A and B are shown apart, each in its own frame.
Chain A
């Protein structure tokens, strides 16, 4: 997919683990893992809002558009 989720990059910058994010955002580890590995088909605004709030970032920092070849 052309939309890349940079969750791992943001987590590394904030020195936060996936488990910690999972607890703060209230999303299961399984769902966060789906999001991180790029298997997700869609993301709810509420989820994005929680992630941005926790990581203190903008949606554009988490999601990136990279055109496919």
Chain B
């Protein structure tokens, strides 16, 4: 198959992806070490863990504020927001429970980055319309779909088990959750792209075998 020099944008994406991949690899190792330490009850006694997690549900407030611009100011109210909660001196059981989705998230993200790395490697070498690339795009699309689905399950579980049982004086938790629809759209775009690549592969083969 003919190999051509890739355009500058592809080379930049390739370099950027390499940096992100290796940084994420380091993060993965650190996260796995953290999971391991939590599993062996390392954070007990003097060593305490303060776990901070993002709540999937919005909370409602009634805070009054001002929008101040150059020459005018407008009264505003903060009604709904998303935020993090912290467990000071996190109990071991809670830390372990949160490590399960963390391992899944890291696993899927690492897998997706790994597949994308192979894909961009291939594109950078000028090998674009290849059956392996089509498989990679499909795997990426399916992984994103799985990620989107698991994220919703995580949100639902946290909502049922934690958010509903949280009690703060001035704020109330709503039932509003985020849809993460951008992930779904991105997965569908990748799936369509894999079909476009399949058509490209057929055309490329036809062109190659036209004498």
Q: Which residues of A contact B (CB under 8 A)?
A: 27, 31-32, 34-35, 39-44, 47
Contact = CB atoms under 8 A, between A and B. Distances in A.
Contacts of A27: 211
Interface string B41-70: 000000000000000000000000000000
Nearest to B210: A42
Interface residues of B, number: 5
Contacts of A43: 210-211
A27 B211 CA distance: 8
Nearest to A51: B211
Contacts of B205: 41
B201 to A, nearest CB: 13
Contacts of A31: 211
Given A35-B211, A42-B210, A44-B211, 18 more contacts: A27-B211, A31-B211, A32-B211, A34-B209, A34-B211, A40-B210, A40-B211, A41-B205, A41-B206, A41-B209, A41-B210, A42-B206, A42-B209, A42-B211, A43-B210, A43-B211, A44-B210, A47-B211
23 contacts: A27-B211, A31-B211, A32-B211, A34-B209, A34-B211, A35-B211, A39-B209, A40-B209, A40-B210, A40-B211, A41-B205, A41-B206, A41-B209, A41-B210, A42-B206, A42-B209, A42-B210, A42-B211, A43-B210, A43-B211, A44-B210, A44-B211, A47-B211
Contacts of B206: 41-42
A32 B209 CA distance: 11
Nearest to A32: B211
Contacts of B209: 34, 39-42
Contacts of A34: 209, 211
B205 to A, nearest CB: 7
Interface string B193-211: 0000000000001100111
From B205, B206, B209, name the one whose CB has the most chain A CB atoms within 10 angstroms: B209
From B206, B209, B211, name the one whose CB has the most chain A CB atoms within 10 angstroms: B211
Nearest to A35: B211
A35 B209 CA distance: 8
A9 B57 CA distance: 77
